[in-house]
Structure formats: structure tokens, C-alpha cells
Amino acid sequence: MQTADPGAVRRPLVIANPSAGRGRTGRDLSHLVSALRDALGELDVVTTAGARQATELAAAAVDERRPLVVSLGGDGTLHEVVNGLMQARGALPGAPVEAAALPALGVIATGTGGDFGRALGIAARVEDYLAALAGGHERALDVGLARFAGADGAPLERYWINVLSAGVGGLVDRYAAGAPAVLGGRIAYAQAALRGIVMCRRVRLRCRVALPDGAASERLLDSHAVAICNGTTFGGGMRIAPMARPDDGLLEVIAFETRTRWRLMGRFLTVYAGTHTSEPGVHHFTCRALRLEPLDPPARPPRGGVFPLDVDGEALGDVPLDVSLIGHALRVRAPLSPRS
């Protein structure tokens, strides 16, 4: 792993994952860095070689008072960078900490999914990400906080910025990661979704929610999949929550409660167009926080988990799950007029 020049702490920092995009990011890295310097001027670049390094580098960038931290890689890289910034935010003196106290977040998506850029109104081309960075326009966005059971049953806590899904979504993430390198992002996620639908189980869940008006509510879900959304898309372009806005303090929840896998497959085919929320068996509601827990937890959880989680594209754990939002927690470089 390269290290930044400690004497140049005011320059933007680019955290690059050369393994992203099945190695394409590493092959194109010199060109990408040259384009970033053309867009931003002098900057420092560090590359990662393992898990959690991007988190450590982003946290260090807060201490170094960097003006901007750019995630160059896939969804996993962005997830780690967001967690590094937010973990450092929690360690800063004083409460609450304003987003202005942290470096702004920039994104160059070069991985398989690249869904967070769509929520910002950035097309899936490097040129569009560079234009968003160079424009200097910043939006203060909400960040989710999830607490759940890890693979070994121990409690975990992670920040997330786009979509947290459970059930089929947790399986899709595992299958997409193992897709052949020749498949593009959309095809990789499409085949992973079909495989996930075949392998998933419908689970009865208790869902306790904090509603937008401050009231509390409880509902029962009998679901193959639940998506908790701050952003609009996941899975390489599936428009899971077209109504979501990442700066309104609200979570958009989509639950698939179809009775059979065949019907679930039909519903998933409509997600790319964003028309699924009007289909039978698909339910949408809005809240500020929620808790998901299985009604009938097995004595010994199955190998793949009871209702496995996908946290911003990372397969990280299982229910029970608690989710909340931290309003306007990070400043993100984005176009002036984001598209829905």
C-alpha cells in the first residue's frame, strides 16, 4: 500500500482499489489518475491491497484535514471510505459534528455496480464522474447506520449510504461477486438475481418502524426480500426505490411478499423500469428507522443465514437488524441538478 506525503495534507486524497472491476481499475489506474489531476489539480493517491485499508485511509484523511477524499473503485471501496469518514466523525470532539468538519466525498465508480452515482444524477461514465468532481458542487447527504448480527453471531455496526437489502439481496451480492469476469455489471447482477431467487426462502419477519410523523408502528412481513433505501438503485441499475432522496431524512422500504418464486421473478424483472411498486405482492412504506427480526428464528441458522444482508453491496451479516439515518452527515460532490 502506498502512503500519502505527510507534508501535503491539504491536497485531495484519492483512495484507489486496483482490484475493482475485476482488475480493470488497476490496469487503467495511470490514465485515471492523470484525468483526476487534470480535473482537480495536485492530489495524493494511495492504493489498497486488502480489506479495511480504505476505511483506515479515509479515517486518517479526517485527521489530516483533507478537503476531499475520492473513492476510486467499486461499491466495496465506497462502503469502506464512507465507514472511515463516519467512524472518524464519531471520534471528533463535540456533538453533533457538522458535515463541514469532514472532507467532502468524491466518487469515481469503476466496479461492477456503480449504483450510488445514479442516485446523485451521474451517468455511468468516468467522464461524468470527473465532471461532477471538477464542478465543485456539494450536497449534504444522509448516511444510514446499521446494527446487525455478523457471520459468527456477534453484533456488528456499519454505516451505509445507498441501499441495504435483506433476503434475496444478500444472496445476490454473494453470487455477483463470483460471476465470471467476462460478464458486464448489469449481466452479472441479473444472473445473480435469478440465482438468488431460486435459492431464497420466504421468511416471516416482525418489522418495527419509526414513522415520519414520529409515531411508532409494527407490521408483519412474509417476505423473500426487503430493501431499505436511501438511494434509488442497486444491483447494477435496478431502480428499486425511484422515490428515494438521499437528503430528506427518510428511508424508503420495499418488501417483496409474493407467494411463489415465479411471481417474485416476474416482479424483479420490473425493477429495472422502477414499476414494481404498483405490482401485487410488492409493498412500499416510508420511515425514519426500523428493526427487522425473524418471527420464528431457527435453533441453528442455515449456512447462508436466516435473511442475509447486503449492505451497500457488501455481504456482511444477518437479521436481527436495526437501521437509522444520520441526517446530512456527509458532503458529496455531485451535479447541481441531480436526476431522479
The verdict on residue 78 lying in a domain is: yes
- Return the axis-axis angle of helices 53-63 and 75-91, rounded to nearest 10°: 40
Residues 83 and 182 placed together within one structural domain of the fold: no
Whole-model pTM? 0.89
Q: What is the reported pLDDT for 252?
A: 98
Q: What is the reported pLDDT for 340?
A: 42
Going 71 to 73 to 78 to 79, the CA torsion angle's sign is negative
Residues 6+ apart with CB under 8 A from 311: 79, 146, 158, 160, 164, 317
The verdict on residue 243 lying in a domain is: yes
Residue 91 phi, psi dihedral angles, 5° rounding: -90, -10
Q: What is the reported pLDDT for 8?
A: 47
Residues 188 and 314 placed together within one structural domain of the fold: yes
Domain extent at residue 41: 6-111
Alpha carbon distance 54, 46 (integer Å): 9
Q: What is the reported pLDDT for 238?
A: 84
The number of beta carbons lying within 10 Å of the beta carbon of residue 38 is 10
Q: How many domains does the chain have?
A: 2
Q: What is the reported pLDDT for 303?
A: 72
Residues 150 and 17 placed together within one structural domain of the fold: no
Residues 6+ apart with CB under 8 A from 209: 216, 217, 218, 219, 253, 285, 287, 288, 289, 290, 291
Residue 134 in contact with residue 142, Cβ under 8 Å?
Answer: no
- Band (112; pLDDT cuts 50, 70, 90): confident
The number of beta carbons lying within 10 Å of the beta carbon of residue 97 is 17
Domain boundary among 55, 88, 111: 111
- Band (144; pLDDT cuts 50, 70, 90): very high
